[in-house]
Amino acid sequence: MSSTSTKDMRRIFAEWPVSIPRTGLIVTTFGEQIQFVSYMLSGDLILIERKTPDALGSRRVIISFDSIIALKILDAIEMARFTAMGFQGVA
């Protein structure tokens, strides 16, 4: 992931609007998909909390932003609410 994409991904998490639930699914460069219900930030790292443990019993994962290639939003949210994250519509 480029440094710009890494910064943008970090900005999305750092400035997550209250109007959008802080839940989702992170896709990593390792090919993992990690569903989360909460998170915390520290520099270029994110601490993700799972609702249920993975196969090894882990509920929390610390991962660097440059290892995140996608963020999936699982809740049904109208597109207009994502303007709070900096997205804009195109004509």
Name the residue among 31, 42, 22 with its Cα closest to residue 68: 31
CATH of residue 42's domain is 2.30.30
Whether residue 90 is contained in a domain is answered as no
Convert the pLDDT of each residue in 20-45 to its tens digit.
Answer: 899 999 999 999 999 999 999 999 99
pTM recorded for the entire structure: 0.85
The whole-number pLDDT of residue 41 equals 97
Tell me, yes or no, whether 76 lies in a domain.
yes
Instruction: Give the residue from 49, 48, 82, 53 showing the smallest Cα distance to 68.
Output: 48
Owning domain of residue 64: 3-85
The count of domains in the chain is 1
Mean pLDDT, residues 2-19: 87
DSSP letter (8 states) at residue 35: E
Give the pLDDT of residue 61.
96
User: Within a domain: residue 91?
Assistant: no
Q: What is the pLDDT of residues 57-79, one digit of tens each?
A: 999 999 999 999 999 998 888 88
